[in-house]
Amino acid sequence: MKSQTPNVMRDLNVTVSLLASGVVNVHWTYANDTGVDKVPFEVPTTIINADKGILCETKNLSAYVEVSEGETGPGMLMIKNDAGVVVFTFNGMVLTEYLNYMSVTVNTDKDFRTGVLGLTERVSGDLFLNDGVYSLWARDQPDPVETGKSPGNNMYGIHPFYMGKAPKDADGASSGWFGVFANNAAAQDWWIKNNQDTGAVDVTTFATGGAGDLYVMTAVSPEEVTKMYHSIVGTPVLTPQWALGWHQCRWGYNTTDALKEVVANYSAAGIPLDTQWSDIDYMKDYRDFTYDKVNFDGLGDFVKDLHDKQMHYIPIIDAGIAIRENEQQDGEKYEAYMDGIQEDIFIKDPEGKVAVGQVWATDAAFPDFFNPKTSAWWSKWLTNFHNEVEFDGVWEDMNEASNFCAGVCYAS
C-alpha cells in the first residue's frame, strides 16, 4: 500500500491471510526500512501465537474476502461469513511512529440487538456497547463503571476483542455471529457509533503505536466464535472444584486470631466455607512472599488446620515488589527484592535503572515477565513462601501493573 503523502507517511505492507475456516488475519506494518529508531511493536508469539504460518487448506481466501475497487487502486476490504453476508468492512488505516489508527464498520442484525459487546471487563447496565469511547489501558480503577463518556475509563483488564450477531442472509435466516480481535498491546481508545436503523456499527480505534494485527472470526454461534478467540489467545486454566465454592475475603483481618474467629463464626452459623483469603494485612511490611511473624504468629498451623477441615487458603500477592534495600529501615533485608536486583529481573527506566513505581508498599519495582529469568525467580520465592504457609492458590493483585505514579516516580 503506497502512501498518498510519501514525504509524510511511509508505505505499508498489508497481508491478508485465511488461517482457518472462518478466521481471517489482516496484518500491516511498514513496507521498508523506516529510517527511525522506533519500529512498530509486535506482541511476542510467546504471548499470542495464532500459527500464522499455518494457512487454511480447505478453502480459498476469496470465499471470505472481497476488495472493492477504489479510484486509484484497491479500495475497501470486506470480510464475509459462510453465508456470504458481509460482516466487516475495513475502511482505512494509518500507521506512524506513535499512532495506529483504523476505521472499520461491522454489520449486525438490527432485529436482534443493534451493537457489539466486549472490549474487556466493562461494568455497565448493558452488555452491548453504546455510543461513546472505551479506553483500554489497564489500571487499578476505584470505580469500574463504564459510561462511554470522554475521556474514557480505563478498566482492570485488557481484551481488545468484541462480538456481534451477523445480519440475516438473503433468505431471512440467521447467518451466525462474528468476533474481532486486535492484537495490539498499546494504549487504545475505541470509539463506537451505532446505526439503529441499519444495524451497522462504526468502530474507530486510536492506539499509541504497534503494528496492525487484526483477526476477524465468523461462525454459527457465539460459543464457536469464543472457541476461535481462545485458539488465538490461549485457553484459561481449568478452575478447581473448590474454587467454585464459598470464599471469604476482606481487608482488615490483621491477625491470625481474626482469621480463626471468621472461620469459627461460619461454623457456628452452619454456613459452609470453602476458602479463607488474606489481604495484604498478613504481609511483613508489604513484602511479597513474607508474613508478619508477630501479628500472624501461627499462620502456617492455621492453614494446616483448614486443610484438616477440607478447607483452603489463599493469600494476596502483589505485582509490585517492595523496595526494601536499607537494612536499618526495617531491621532485616528483604531477600526476594535483593535477589531480584541480583538476577536483574525488574523493569528498567530509559536510563537503565530500576523503574520505581508506588503501590501499597510505597516504592515498588515491577518484575519483567518477558525476561526469561523472571519466572524462575517468581517460582523460587513462591515456593519458599509455600514451605512456610501451605497456601492453595494466590490472589495475584495489582497486576495491570498498577502504579500510583503517572509513570516512573523517580530513578532508583
**Residues forming the active site:** 397, 400
Amino acid at position 84, single letter: G
The answer to whether 137 and 130 have CB atoms below 8 angstroms apart is no
Across the beta sheet with 410-411, the strand order is 321-322, 362-365, 355-359, 410-411
CA dihedral 53, 57, 61, 62 (to 10 degrees): 170
CA atoms within 13 A on the CB side of 271: 12
Which three cell numbers, joined as nine digits, stand for 92? 482505512
Angstrom distance (rounded) from CA 315 to CA 297: 15
Q: Are 88 and 178 in contact (CB under 8 A)?
A: yes
Cβ neighbours of 150 (radius 10 Å): 10
- Give 240-300 as a DSSP string: PGGGGS-EE--TT--SHHHHHHHHHHHHHHT----EEEE-GGGSBTTBTT---TTTTTTHH
Burial environment of residue 190 by CB neighbours within 10 A (0 to 12, 13 to 18, 19 or more) = buried
Q: What DSSP line would sit under 103-142, residue for residue?
A: EEEEE--TTT-SS-EESS---SS-SBPPSEEEEE-----S
